[in-house]
Amino acid sequence: MKCLPGETRCSGTCSKDAVNCHSHCLVSAWLLRLRKPAGDLVKLIQNYIDGSFVPGKQEFADINPADGTTIAKVTAADEAQVGGAVHAARLALHGEWGRLAVRERAARLHKVADAIEKRFDCFVQAEVADTGKPVSLASNLDIPRAAANFRVFADLVKMAGLESFQTETLDGANALNYAVRKPLGVVGIVTPWNLPLLLLTWKVAPALACGNTVVVKPSEETPATATLLSEAMQDAGIPHGVYNVVHGFGPGSAGEFLTQHPDVDAITFTGESKTGAAIMKAVAPTVKPISFELGGKNAAIVFADCNFEETISGLSDAVFLNTGQVCLCAERAYVERRIFSAFVEALKRKAERLHSGWPNDEETNLGPLISAQHRDKVLSYFRLAREEGATVVTGGGVPKFGDDRDHGFYVQPTIYTGLPETARCVKEEIFGPVCHIAPFDSEEEAVSMANDTKYGLAASIWTSDLKRGHRVAQQMNVGITWVNCWFLRDLRTPFGGAGLSGIGREGGMHSLNFYSELNNICIRL
C-alpha cells in the first residue's frame, strides 16, 4: 500500500509502503497509530473540490471513539468553498462526463469499485479509526457494500428501460409516448456517521450512474472514507468536478451551505428526522427534489412458534450490530407471552457474551458509540428508563476496562422490560445497543403495538408459520419488513421509510428514477 496524494506533504509518489512512510499520509497515519503512542500523528483531512485537495478555513478534530484520541484534523469548507464545489460540479456536467455514453459511465463506475477493492485495507482502517466499529464489520459489511453499490448501479443503469405507450385519443388521433432519462444536474448528498462509506456510496453510485455530478457532505464524525473515495475516483478516471467533498458540520456550516445553495438541483439526505425537517425548510425556497432516509424505532415481533435459536441469533444482530447504531436496529421486541421469559433470558445471555474489545481485535463484536456527546444521549435514556420504571435485565451502564478504552465511548449492551408502551424509552429513537422487550397475547395486539409509533422504517417478524409471516408483514406500516431475518439486502429492492422515517424510496430503479429527470415525448402518428 503506497502513500496517498491529498495530504499536505505527500505528493502521492512516495515509494515507501504505508507502515514505513513518515510523511503526512492519511492512511499510513492510522496504520502507524497501531504501533505508536497517541498524540504524534495528527494529520489533515482536506476538502476535495474540482479534482484538488484544498484546505478550508477552520479545523476540527477527528476523534477515535475507542480511546478518545485525536486521529486527524479536518479542515472545514466555508460558504465560498461550498459554492466553489457546486460551481465545479455544474461545469463538470457539461464537460467530458456529460458526453459519456451510458456504457462508458458504467465502466468507470466499475473502475471506482475496483479502486475501492484495491485499497480495501486503507478503507477498512479509515472506517475503523473513525467509527470504532469492529474490523470484522468494516471488512465484511461496510467496505464490500461500498464497492457493490457502484457495481450494482453501473449494471442497472445499462439495463434500465422506460415505459412507452401507444395512445389512441377519444377523437381518434394516434400517438406514441415514450420517456427519456436525463440527469437532474448537481446533487447535494448529506450523510451520517453510522455506516459512513456504505451510506454515502448508496447515493453517490446511482447519482453518478444517471449522469449527475455530486457534492457530498459526510458527517463531521467520519470524514475519512469520503475523502479516500476521492482517490478511488481519480484512479477510475472520473473527471474533475464530478465528485466533490466538503467537510464541516450542519447548521451554519457546510451542511447548511450545501442544502441552501440555489444552484444545487436535488438533495438526498440520510440522518435524523429533525435534521430532515431543517433541510426541508432550507430547500423549500428553491423547490427541488428531496429524498430522505431518516430515523426509526423499529419493532421485532417474535411468535412462540419461531425457531428459537435462530431468532435469538437474528435478534442479537438486530439489536446490537454496530453497537445498535443502524437505523434498522430493533429497539422494541414484542414476544409471545408463552416464550417471553425464556426469550429474555436467552437474549440476556447473548448480550453478556458480546466482546467489547479494541476495534482492530478480530474477536471484538461490540465497539464504542460514535462520540462522547452521543454516549451522553444514550446514557440519559438509560437513566430515563429507570425513572420510567424499567426492569434492567442487563447492562444500563459503562464498562470498565482498566486501559485506554476507559477514555473511549463504550456502553454496555442493555435490555429492559416492564415499561408501559407510552414510555419515552419505548417511543423515541435512542440509537444505541438497547432494546425493550414486552410480552403479547395475540397477533392483533402485537401488530397494534408494533405500529404504534410515529416512525415507520423497518420491522422483523419471527415465526415458523409463513402464512402468518405474510399476513403480519403486510400489516406493518413501514418501508421494509423482514421475516425470519434482518438486514438481508437485495440492492434492487425499494428502501426507505414511512412517517418520520423518510420521504421517498431509493434502491434499484427507485434510485435511478429519483436521480433522473424524465422527459416524456409524445409523437403524433
226 vs 302 by CB, closer to ligand NAD: 226
Distance CA(507)–CA(276), nearest Å, equals: 19
Q: Is 489 in the site for ligand 6OD (CB under 6 A)?
A: yes
Distance CA(365)–CA(354), nearest Å, equals: 6
User: Least distance in Å: CB of 73 to ligand 6OD?
Assistant: 27
The cell for 209 is 450512474
Go through the chain and tell me how many residues it has: 525
Element (H, E) at 229: helix 224-235
Q: Is 409 in the site for ligand NAD (CB under 6 A)?
A: no
Distance CA(200)–CA(88), nearest Å, equals: 20
Strands 70-76 and 43-45: parallel
> What are the CA-CA distances from residue 349 to residues 330, 379, 393, 460 (Å)?
18, 22, 10, 21
3-state secondary structure of 134: coil
At residue 493's C-alpha, the angle toward residues 491 and 494, to 5°, is 115
Sole binder of ligand 6OD in the list 48, 60, 202, 257 (CB under 6 A): 202
Q: Is 410 in the site for ligand 6OD (CB under 6 A)?
A: no
Q: Is 156 in the site for ligand 6OD (CB under 6 A)?
A: no
Q: Is 188 in the site for ligand NAD (CB under 6 A)?
A: no
Which of 327, 329, 425, 435 is flagged as catalytic? 327
Q: Is 328 in the site for ligand 6OD (CB under 6 A)?
A: yes
**Cα 162 versus chain centre, distance:** 29
Which of 221, 293, 336, 506 is flagged as catalytic? 293
Distance CA(265)–CA(516), nearest Å, equals: 11
Binds 489: which of ligand NAD, ligand 6OD, none (CB < 5-8 Å by kind): ligand 6OD
The cell for 254 is 457546510
Sole binder of ligand NAD in the list 6, 183, 250, 368 (CB under 6 A): 250
Q: Is 216 in the site for ligand 6OD (CB under 6 A)?
A: no
Binding segment for ligand NAD among 79-87, 90-98, 250-258, 305-313 (CB under 6 A)? 250-258
48 to 87: interface string for ligand 6OD, x by CB under 6 A: ----------------------------------------
Element (H, E) at 339: none
Q: What is the chain's percent helix, strand, coil content, to nearest 5?
A: 40, 20, 40
103 vs 377 by CB, closer to ligand NAD: 377
Q: Is 235 in the site for ligand NAD (CB under 6 A)?
A: no
Distance CA(82)–CA(6), nearest Å, equals: 18
The cell for 27 is 492512511
Binding segment for ligand NAD among 8-16, 26-34, 113-121, 495-503 (CB under 6 A)? 495-503
Q: Is 47 in the site for ligand NAD (CB under 6 A)?
A: no
Tell me the Ramachandran region of residue 25: left when phi exceeds 0, alpha when psi lies from -120 to 50, beta otherwise: beta
Binding segment for ligand 6OD among 66-74, 272-280, 323-331, 398-406 (CB under 6 A)? 323-331
Distance CA(410)–CA(323), nearest Å, equals: 9
User: Least distance in Å: CB of 39 to ligand NAD?
Assistant: 27
Distance CA(198)–CA(367), nearest Å, equals: 18
Q: Is 468 in the site for ligand 6OD (CB under 6 A)?
A: no
Q: Is 269 in the site for ligand 6OD (CB under 6 A)?
A: no
226 within 8 A of 203, measured Cβ to Cβ: no
Point out the residue whose Cβ comes nearest to ligand 6OD: 327
Q: Is 494 in the site for ligand 6OD (CB under 6 A)?
A: no
State the helix-helix crossing angle for 340-352 and 308-320, rounded to 10 degrees. Answer: 50
Cα-Cα-Cα-Cα dihedral sign, residues 437, 438, 439, 445: negative
Point out the residue whose Cβ comes nearest to ligand NAD: 250
User: Least distance in Å: CB of 93 to ligand NAD?
Assistant: 23
Instruction: Find cell 423499529 and name the residue.
Output: 298
User: Least distance in Å: CB of 195 to ligand 6OD?
Assistant: 5
221 vs 336 by CB, closer to ligand NAD: 221
- Our answer to whether residue 327 is catalytic in this structure is yes
Q: Is 487 in the site for ligand NAD (CB under 6 A)?
A: no
- Helices in 37-95 by DSSP H: which ranges? 79-93
Q: Is 194 in the site for ligand 6OD (CB under 6 A)?
A: yes
Q: In this structure, how many other beta carbons lie within 10 angstroms of the beta carbon of residue 490?
A: 9
198 vs 393 by CB, closer to ligand NAD: 198
Distance CA(370)–CA(301), nearest Å, equals: 28
The cell for 388 is 420510567
Q: Is 440 in the site for ligand 6OD (CB under 6 A)?
A: no
Query: Which 502-521 residues touch ligand NAD, going by CB under 6 A?
Result: 502
Sole binder of ligand NAD in the list 457, 459, 478, 491 (CB under 6 A): 457
- Our answer to whether residue 293 is catalytic in this structure is yes
Buried b (16+ CB within 10 A) or exposed e, 91-107: ebbeeebeeeeeeebbe
Q: Is 278 in the site for ligand NAD (CB under 6 A)?
A: yes
31 vs 76 by CB, closer to ligand NAD: 76
Strands 52-54 and 47-49: antiparallel
Query: Which 327-386 residues touch ligand NAD, going by CB under 6 A?
Result: 327
Q: Is 482 in the site for ligand 6OD (CB under 6 A)?
A: no
Residues with a catalytic annotation lie at 293, 327
Binding site for ligand 6OD (CB under 6 A): 194-195, 199, 202, 326-328, 489, 495
List of residues contacting ligand NAD (CB under 6 A): 190-194, 199, 217, 219-220, 249-251, 255-256, 259, 270-272, 275, 278-279, 293-296, 327, 429, 431, 457, 497, 501-502
